[in-house]
Amino acid sequence: MRRIVKLLLILTAFAIVLLAPGFIIMNGRNRNYPSHLILLEKINARQWRVPIVEIYPLPTALVPSTQSAVDVTGGTVDQVTIQQISNWFKRFDKYKPNESINHTSHRFFRPFLIANEDVCGTTTVDILIYIQSLPENYARRSAIRETWSGRSVFTDINLRTVFVLGRSSSSNNGNEMQFLISNENLMYKDIIQFDFIDSFKNLPIKSIGALRWIYQYCPQAKYIIKADDDIYVNMFLVVEKIISEIWQHPQTLACHFKKNGTSPIVRAPSSKWYVPNEIFKGHKYFPVRFCSGYAVIFTADLIPIMYKNSFGIPYTIVDDVYIFGVLLSGVKDVNYINYQRNFTLDQGRALKEYENKNNITHVVASSWAKDSMQRYWYATMKKLSDWAKQHSALSNSIGLGTT
Helix (H) or strand (E) segment spanning residue 175 = helix 174-188
42: region left, alpha or beta (phi > 0 left; psi from -120 to 50 alpha)? alpha
- Is 240 within 8 Å of 387 (Cβ atoms)? yes
- Is 276 within 8 Å of 255 (Cβ atoms)? no
DSSP tag of 340: G
d(CA 126, CA 57): 32
Rg (CA), the chain: 24
d(CA 62, CA 24): 57
Burial (CB < 10 A; 0-12, 13-18, 19+), residue 305, is middle
DSSP tag of 285: B
Task: Note the helical H segments in 262-335.
Answer: 303-309, 319-323
Q: What are the structural domains, with CATH classification, of the chain?
A: 2-47 (no CATH), 107-397 (3.90.550)
| Torsion angle of the four alpha carbons 321, 323, 325, 329, in this order, in degrees rounded to the nearest 10 | 140
Give the per-residue pLDDT at 2: 57
DSSP tag of 62: G
Give the per-residue pLDDT at 52: 28
- Is 348 within 8 Å of 370 (Cβ atoms)? no
Task: Note the helical H segments in 248-385.
Answer: 303-309, 319-323, 347-355, 372-382
Cβ neighbour number for residue 393 with a 10 Å cutoff: 14
Helix (H) or strand (E) segment spanning residue 35 = helix 35-47
Cβ neighbour number for residue 185 with a 10 Å cutoff: 18
The helix-helix angle for 372-382 and 347-355 (nearest 10°) equals 30
pLDDT average per 10 residues of sequence, the chain (403 residues): 53 44 36 38 38 28 31 42 70 73 93 97 95 96 95 90 93 83 97 94 92 96 97 96 91 95 92 89 93 97 96 88 94 94 96 93 95 96 89 63 46
The DSSP-derived string for 84-140 is HHHHHTTSSPPP---TT--GGGSTT---EEE--TTTTTTS--SEEEEEE--TT-HHH
Q: Phi and psi of 199, rounded to 5°? A: -150, 170
Cα angle 345, 350, 352 (rounded to 5 degrees) comes to 145
